[in-house]
Structure 1
């Protein structure tokens, strides 16, 4: 019996040593996580919920990534921050990225969150505008940057653009409620949710369904960064894909995370939850449904490029391959 005590002591000491080694190993792994900074195009809110779910649920850490997200806003040029090398990766709607590429900024699209843009023409359900032809004689709020696209949409539908009163839009669609507007063009997942959470029922015409394709939450980076950091980018996308998958399957928890922990101050839980649920059909669409979340559809991007050329926003013979590199997200999904 006395001989068993030293053996037991040895076993306990060995177990403790193994535990210490495991703890040290975990510390080393955590310390070895590669930092990736990401420039958001707007403030931290539910439209980026999948990324913050990825941080909270450890999906980035699983692939050795320490992700951080820099908020955007009205006084921040997201593309400039990425183009200058200040930030590694960013997100924007596809339109500004096409124009940036046209200007010679060496960026490439590597992923797509919103495969179908939620950009829509919204009207009050009590006075619905159910077709483009019904805009004749009406007043609609349109962002200045979107005016060429709206003019093309009207012309293709056989509507005289001169018959439609287009006024500059603001981020808040309240003028639609007040009767100053007959229609408002914006994101049904954003301004549409603003109206719905105020008890205002709306009717929405999706612009992509009308012939104005676009993507949103489009992930991009500088070409030289992509060339030098392939595995890092693939691992980031793996973490992002898993984070978005978790967020879409856990909308209540994700909305709570944004309100209580990760989002900008003052976010409303009900609005955040409503927006995430409304966003799902636009995220799990097209290539996002057939290939996997964040996938790239080169044919869709070619359609968007061709539209931008048609309306005069670009002049070059840009191809989808000039703008997009699907190989990163394809590797992340494989």
Structure 2
């Protein structure tokens, strides 16, 4: 089993900001960057099977997809009308999921706000139908001896930032009226050891990654969530083709209902969710059970808010949608608007109440 430090930073940052850069700078079209897709049950390509829930995710098998695994384990896809069950298409650093769902090769995909918006800006007629992480998972991590609790606390300090996150960090500073010259940015890799060793005062982190690594080292990280300071971006956004909202509505509702029910099962029994992820569905990934358990707990804390408590998991508050659009504009992605987000499928999923299991 690999050490905790080998757990990829931002499971999606290479894909996310690499494609963001291509879109913003005018590089190769994302819509042509389809790439190949590995699958746990079938390979990508061709039209999606009408008897299976073809679900494209944007990273390799890990605890990120625990809800999907719980749904599969409970046979929820079959119960909701998919005779062949789940056809999960794995992603990775060389897989752009937006072209796959836009072409109809998958019923639905999970992606980041940035790559979704960049695809829309390039002409993909995609719509977000739900968001798992209501709060952005990025944070600036520090340690108790030298805490960073607000953006102003970063002034005059060394902050470790990986190359993939330069755009994100610059936009966060701008949103908080901090000059880049007021912060000493240190280029780091994904491993938070520079923070543990005191080489930097803070570390731009994915909250269920580097902070977890530090916890497993016996440290007590302090996480300043960027979402608490004017930087709103959903994470793990569920997207579909706009046309499919009408032509495949029943299929999308059934699949989304299965996904959400799986997440509700994972919330109720996190230990089982970790067990089947580590020992069955993502066994080949050689995941650390302790790290996976901590990561799942943190991910779920970002998925459950007062709003989702009232309206159901994945539900998107209109106020938050507007904030997401504003943040995307601030990092240089135009072309996306509130019309690219809808709760209509969730309204159908929750027609009889938000508790599905």
Asked if 1:83 is matched to 2:139, the reply is no
Find out whether 1:319 has 2:353 as its counterpart: no
Say whether residues 1:94 and 2:126 are aligned partners. no
TM-score (norm 1): 0.83
Distance in 2 separating the partners of 1:255 and 1:78: 25
Whether the 8 Å CA contact 2:207–2:223 is kept in 1: the answer is yes
SS of the residue corresponding to residue 160 of structure 2 reads: strand
When residues 60 and 75 of structure 1 are mapped into structure 2, their CA distance, relative to the original with a 3 A threshold, is same
Structure 2: how far apart are the matches of 1:310 and 1:102? 14
SS at match of 1:34: coil
Residue 241 of structure 1 and its aligned partner are, at CA, apart by 1.2
Asked if 1:34 corresponds to 2:36, the answer is no
Which residue in 1 is equivalent to 2:75? 58
Name the counterpart of 2:295: 275
Asked whether the equivalents of residues 139 and 226 of structure 2 are also in contact (C-alpha less than 8 Å), the reply is yes
Question: Which deviates more from structure 2 when the two are superposed, residues 43-52 or residues 290-299?
Answer: 290-299
Query: 1:206-251: per-residue Cα shift (whole Å, max 9, x none)?
Result: 1111110111111012223333211000000111111100001100
Q: Deviations over 1:268-321 (max 9, x none)?
A: 11111111222222111143222001212232121111122234x1244x4212
Q: Secondary structure at the match of 2:52?
A: strand
**SS of 1:254 mapped into structure 2:** helix
Q: What is the DSSP-based 3-state SS (H/G/I as helix, E as strand, rest coil) of the residue aligned with 2:191? A: coil
**TM-aligned CA distance change 1:120 to 1:104, over 3 Å:** same
Question: Which ranges in structure 1 are unaligned for 5 or more consecutive residues?
Answer: 1-31
Correspondence list, 1:119-198, <5 A: 119-144=138-163, 146-198=165-217
Equivalence for 2:274: 255
Q: Give the one of 229, 240, 255 matched to 2:248.
A: 229
Change over 3 Å in CA distance of 1:286–1:92 after alignment to 2:
farther
Shift of 1:156: 4.1
8 Å contact from structure 2 (residues 162, 190) kept in 1: no
Q: 1:315 to 1:252 in 2, by over 3 A?
A: closer
Q: Find the partner of 1:49 among 45, 56, 66.
A: 66
* Residues in 1 aligned to 2:159 and 2:234: alpha-carbon distance in whole angstroms: 22
Q: CA RMSD in A?
A: 2.1
Distance 1:218 1:180, change over 3 A: same
Is the CA contact (8 Å cut-off) linking 1:52 and 1:262 kept in structure 2?
yes
| Residue 107 (structure 1) aligned with residue 123 (structure 2) | no
Alignment check: 8 A CA contact 2:131 2:234 kept: yes
Following the alignment from structure 1 to structure 2, what is the Cα–Cα distance between the partners of residues 219 and 175? 35
Deviation (angstroms), 1:144: 4.8
Residues 87-131 of structure 1: CA deviation (Å, up to 9, x unaligned): 331111222212221111111111111111221111123322222
Deviant stretches of 4+, over 4 Å: 143-146
Asked if the contact 1:121–1:206 (Cα under 8 Å) also holds between the matched residues in 2, the reply is yes
- The Cα offsets for residues 123-166 of structure 1, whole Å up to 9 and x where unpaired, read as 12332222212212223233556434433432343422112133
Instruction: State how many pairs are aligned.
Output: 300
Q: Which has the higher helix share?
A: 1
Q: Larger radius of gyration, structure 1 or 2?
A: 1
> Are 2:313 and 1:293 equivalent residues in the alignment?
yes
Match of 1:71 among 90, 100, 110: 90
C-alpha contact (below 8 Å) 2:150/2:224 kept by paired residues: yes
Once the two structures are TM-superposed, the CA of residue 176 in structure 1 deviates from its matched residue by: 2.1
SS of equivalent residue, structure 2 residue 285: coil
313, 322, 325: which one aligns with 1:302: 322
